[in-house]
Amino acid sequence: MRILVTGTAGFIGYHVVLRLLESGADVVGVDNINDYYDVRLKLDRLAQTGIEQDRIREGELVRSSRYPDYQFIKLDIKERNELARLFEKGKFERVCHLAAQAGVRYSLENPHVYVDSNLVGFVNLIDLCRIHGIGHLIYASSSSVYGLNPEMPFSILSETDHPVSLYGATKKCNELIAHSYSHLFGLPTTGLRFFTVYGPWGRPDMAAFVFTKAILENRPIDIYNYGDMERDFTYIDDIVEGVVLVIEHPILHKPIKTPFRVYNIGHGSPVRLLDFVESVEKVLGRKAVKRMMAMQAGDVRATWADTSDLLSDFGYRPMTPVQEGVGRFIHWYLDYYRP
């Protein structure tokens, strides 16, 4: 199977590419390698897949030195003409779209970046999927679409009309656009609402990374809403398992008029933020200095994924307990940064 994966210098994209290559897929990766966070981390992820920095050229395909069935191209998905040329050459059967401008808080100050990547880029991609008859588009949505919905756990049938961040709003827009393309053109699309992903090679703005770095540097960590926070922390390997299962199945087994689906993909068991901090403390053997803060704009008190649909359709069962996942992350962090 020939698959285009976007966002392959990113956290989830990097892990998905490795898993697809191990399964024998023919993969082309795309990323613009922006500087939202440490570019060195992104380049080192690429290097792990055999795409070394000194061989990367804007708009040119580079073949991996480690995986003969992997090619990478530095390209911004908001540039429609460049993306169109890639589709014309690529002959892709599936597209797994994981590229996006991430971060809830960053969207408060940089809205246009989210419009360019998460809206313009998404429309460019899905329209090219339509033009080239792609067999299945899988794309990253987010638990942020649930916004202020107080019902727990979040079901795919839960109300999603009141996001509290521009980031969440762009992800909801992606789902609506996907539905219209599935309905009008018969394009099979599947959206995956990710819930607080963590693990090795993770993003520096995510909780596990922030807490670990601060504790090791003897700096206080900010605990928002005075500790009254819960998150459905989901280990990266469990996320990748779900993504790959969905890639391989473009439609449900029963006949449907509009080949459109959305799933929650999370661990399915929320963890108190203070308990997560305690897990980090146990692995590091150090106590955190906690600075209690009010709730931040654009944030929500709790997330909790109802993954019953993903279980019934694909047998998806996340297996990694938080303490084990935190331990794996910190082992990677200490090896990578050697503090």
Catalytic residues: 167
Q: 8: part of which helix (H) or strand (E)?
A: none
Task: Work out the angle at residue 291's Cα, subtended by the Cα atoms of residues 285 and 292, and round it to the nearest 5 degrees.
Answer: 120
> Buried b / exposed e across 267-288, counting CB within 10 Å, b at 16+?
bbebbebeebbbbbbebbeeeb
Sequence-ordered list of residues with C-beta below 8 angstroms from that of 37, at least 6 positions apart, any chain:
203, 204, 205
Residue with tokens 């070394």: 52
Spatial separation of the C-alpha atoms in residues 58 and 52, rounded to whole Å: 13
With beta carbons less than 8 A apart as the criterion, state whether 97 and 140 touch.
Answer: yes
Nearest C-alpha neighbor of 263 from the set 149, 184, 145: 145
Contact at 8 Å (CB) between 183 and 310?
no
Radius of gyration of the CA atoms of the chain, in A: 19
70-93 burial: b if 16+ Cβ within 10 Å, else e? bbbbbbbbbbeebbeebbeebebb
Sign of CA dihedral 82, 141, 168, 206: negative
| Amino acid present at 95 | V
Q: What ranges make up the beta strands (E) of the chain?
A: 2-6, 26-31, 61-63, 70-74, 94-97, 136-142, 189-194, 197-198, 221-223, 230-231, 234-235, 260-265, 271-272, 290-292
Q: Of 311, 298, 301, whose CA–CA distance to 264 is shortest? A: 311
